[in-house]
Amino acid sequence: MIKPYLQIIQTEEKGRGIITRERIPADTIIEVSPVIVMTSEARTHLDKTLLHDYIFEWGPDKTNCCVALGYISLYNHDYESNCEYFMDYEDETIMIKTIRTIAAGEELTINYNGDWNDRQKLWFDAL
């Protein structure tokens, strides 16, 4: 499920991203998409490719990884994101939910650390 008012855009700073064409209230589920789960062995190969930038750690112990379908892998990172994501390991899906009201035309972001306001530096900012 992907809300019809979401749109893929090309941003100047971060490449592709997702915006909304309509105002979205807080606590709205805007996407639920399946994932393709892969083993830690497969991840060693993926980490040598461009897909490294698009995979998620997967599982309660984060030993596996996944590629998310739908728009999930295109949400850009923000340390104070306006959306958060939830992983359902049993159903093999990721859900995106708004944290606050989002204005039409605003980019939708998630925090790649997992918690919407986690300011721990990520690998691409630690360089």
pLDDT at 115 over 80: no
pLDDT of residue 127: 52
Q: What is the pLDDT of residues 31-56, one digit of tens each?
A: 999 999 999 888 788 778 777 777 88
List the domain boundaries for the chain. 6-110
The more confident residue out of 50 and 60 is 60
Question: Which phi-psi region, left, alpha or beta, contains residue 62 (left: φ > 0; alpha: ψ -120 to 50)?
Answer: left
pLDDT of residue 48: 83
Helix or strand run (H / E) with residue 42: helix 40-46
pLDDT of residue 119: 57
pTM, to two decimals: 0.84
Percent of the chain exceeding pLDDT 90 equals 61
CATH number for 6-110: choose from 3.40.30.10, 3.30.428.10, 2.170.270.10, 3.30.540.10.
Answer: 2.170.270.10
Q: What is the pLDDT of residues 86-114, one digit of tens each?
A: 999 999 999 999 999 999 999 999 987 66
Q: Average pLDDT for residues 61-66, to the nearest whole number?
A: 90
Distance, C-alpha 31 to centroid of its chain: 10
Angle at CA 56, nearest 5°, toward 50 and 60? 150
Helix or strand run (H / E) with residue 45: helix 40-46
CA distance 80 to 82: 7
